[in-house]
Every structure is written in structure tokens, then in C-alpha cells.
Amino acid sequence: MGAYILRRLLLMIPTILGIMLVSFVIVQFAPGGPIERIVAQLQGTDVSATARIGGGGQGDVGGSGAGAAGGAGEGVQAKYRGAQGLDPDFIRELEQQFGFDKPPHERFLMMIVNYATFDFGRSYFRDISVIDLIIEKMPVSISLGLWMTLLSYGISIPLGIAKAMRDGSRFDTWTSAVVIVGYAIPGFLFAILLIVLFAGGSFFDLFPLRGLVSDNWESLSWPERILDYFWHLVLPITSMALGAFATTTLLTKNSFLDEIRKQYVTTARMKGLGERRVLYGHVFRNAMLIIIAGFPGAFISAFFTGSLLIETIFSLDGLGLLSFESIINRDYPVVFATLYIFSLLGLIVNLISDLTYTWVDPRIDFEAREV
């Protein structure tokens, strides 16, 4: 197993390099950029997602650990405010501050070297380091991903088992209809419906519309803080979890049905074992193999990719919204840093999922299978 883990870890290196290289090449051909945004701001034509320029030092597109576009911030704006055109020397100065005076291959190599030591530099348009910015946004995404995954698994697994035990019954039919309809409704559309119904839209005003906590959260007692936190989570989590029920529920049902029809279950029943003992003593462990092994991937997926529109609708400032705004604003250090972190975590979680298979069922040996 140690050799298998080592091979998987070594394979992550070319995979990460490939992902970063393809993304870097695409960015080189994408129209616009941080310098164009600075020029648009000076000319009063900027329409970016967050038109903010903070202070900072010098930096490059790979996030070398120094500052970024903030170096062309308030002082540069004051110097050229009211100018009808922009001096070519000024543009060259901007290119040097952003690191665009170097050829692309040098910028890419510098970025990879820095990222290997987790040095992500500073945001171009926010006066903060990229890693601090990501850490600042993590609580929102962790809250959404964790509770959505737990809620989804907590309901889907018992429901899937119940559907497998009642396969073909009315209960199985109408619950399947509900699950599939819920899966077909987009999460953002259901979020809007919940706002209209329960967040002061046209009917009831039972839940808050924005944020994870109330404005007076600091003055609340600990029990009140916990209640306030979950009170704010009800609508966003419900919106996100609606579509997640279908996959896990049907996967659980089909996995149990597949195991129930195997010979060892028939043998256990012929020995006089009760149905409950057969189900939870024999079928459950084998049927839950694929469900348990998929938990890390499901959590990471919900953590990083499932909350962009929900975060926007409910004014939750998390990683999904940060990534979207960074792409729109051409804040390349944030874009590449989040891509690098998400890709690395995804590869690690895939390895953890495989190892989870061997933990749940020791008969599985990936190392022997590769020989």
C-alpha cells in the first residue's frame, strides 16, 4: 500500500503542472487583463465586479509574494487623473509592477516555484495576501459544504435503504418522484422561491435574507449565537441540498438492491436469520462501501463548487463568490491560487477515497491490482 500511495503522490505533480499550464496558456489569450482594468478605471469606464484598488507593492502574474496592481493605486490615479491619454512610459511601468515585462514562460516558471512553497503573493486589487483572503472566505464555504453534506447523507441514506426494502411499492414510487423533481429544480431557483415565501418576500418573514450571523452576534450569549448561526443557514442549506438528495438516495437504493439479490443473502435467510439482522449485519457493510468511499469527494464538491449562486443570492461572501469575482476582475494571483489549491485538494481527496475503500473492505487491494 505504501508503494501505491507514493505512486499516486508522484502522479499529482505532472497533473498539477498540466492543469496550471493549460489554464495559464488560456489566460494569455483571454481578452483584457489587470492593466486594461487599471486603464479603464483611469478613464472612468471600468465595470468590473468589484472596482476597488488598494495599496500594495510590486508583484507578478504568478503571485511572487510581493504586492500587485495596488502598486498602481491611489498615487498613480492622482497623478494621471484628468489626463486625456496615457503615457506609454506609464503603461510600461504598470507592466513592470504586474510582472508582464517578463516573457510568459518566465512568469509561469516563477509562479510554479512560488506555489510549490505555497507562496501565492498578494491580490492585485485588494490590499491583502491571497492566502489570507482565502482563509477569510473559508468559514462561509465550510459552513455551507459541511452542513449540506451531512444533511444530504443523513436523509438520503435512510431514505435509500427504505426504498430498497420497499422496491416497487407506492412508497418507492412517490418518493422517487419527489426526489427526481427536487433534482430537476435548479438550486438558485428554489432559493428565490424560499426567499419569496419565508424571507420577507410576499408571504412570511421567518428567516434572515443575508449573511451567516446577525449584526448583533457579538453581543449574544453562546446559546443564542448557535441558534442565530443555524437560523441563518436554514434557507441556503435547504436550497443547496435539494438537488443533492437524488444522487445519494438512488445510489444507496441501487447498492442495497444489488447486495440483497446476491447468494450470501439468500444463504443467510435460509439459515433462519431475521430480516433486520440480514440487512444490517450482512448487507449494510457491503452496500455502504461505495457510499462511504464517496463521502470525501462529495464534501469537497459541495465545499468548493456548489455554492456560487447561493452565496450571491443570500449575500454570503465565500470562496465561490471570491473565485467568480477574481475571474471577472482579472485578479490573476487569486484565480491561479484558488485553482492550484482546489486542484491539489481534489487529487488528495481522490486518493483518500481510494484508501477509504480499502478501510471499509480490506479485500480491495489497489497495489496488487496494479501489479
Instruction: Give the tens place of pLDDT for each residue, 242-258.
Output: 777 777 888 888 888 88
Tens digit of pLDDT for each residue in 159-198?
Answer: 988 898 888 899 999 998 888 888 888 878 888 888 888 8
Predicted local distance difference test score (pLDDT) of residue 14: 93
- pLDDT at residue number 41: 66
pLDDT in tens, 72-96: 333 333 333 333 456 677 677 767 7
Helix, coil or strand: residue 91? helix
DSSP for residue 61:
T
- Determine contact, residues 318/291, Cβ cutoff 8 Å: no
> Own/partner pairs for 129-134, CB < 8 Å, 24+ apart?
130/63, 130/333, 130/334, 130/337, 131/337, 133/322, 133/334, 134/319, 134/322, 134/334, 134/337, 134/338, 134/341
Question: What does the domain layout of the chain look like in residue ranges?
Answer: 30-128, 132-329
* pLDDT recorded at residue 59: 38
Give the number of other Cβ atoms within 10 Å of residue 324's Cβ: 15
Contact 77, 53 (CB under 8 A): yes
- Quick one: angle between helices 332-360 and 295-304, nearest 10? 160
Angle at 26 between CA 20 and CA 28, to 5 degrees: 105
pTM of the model as a whole = 0.70
Instruction: Region of 57 please: left (phi>0), alpha (psi -120 to 50) or beta.
Output: beta
Q: CA-CA distances (angstroms) from residue 181 to 166, 234, 253, 280?
A: 20, 20, 17, 30
Mean pLDDT, the chain, rounded, equals 77
The stretch 280-307 carries a mean pLDDT of: 71
Give the confidence band of 216 by pLDDT, cuts at 50, 70, 90: confident
Q: Other CB atoms closer than 10 Å to residue 131's CB: what's the count?
A: 16
Closest by CA to 346, choosing from 304, 309, 292, is: 304
- R_g of the chain computed on alpha carbons: 26
Smallest Cα–Cα separation from 61: which of 15, 103, 89, 22?
103
Lowest mean pLDDT among 65-69, 92-96, 118-122, 260-264: 65-69
Which numeric CATH code is attached to 132-329?
1.10.3720.10
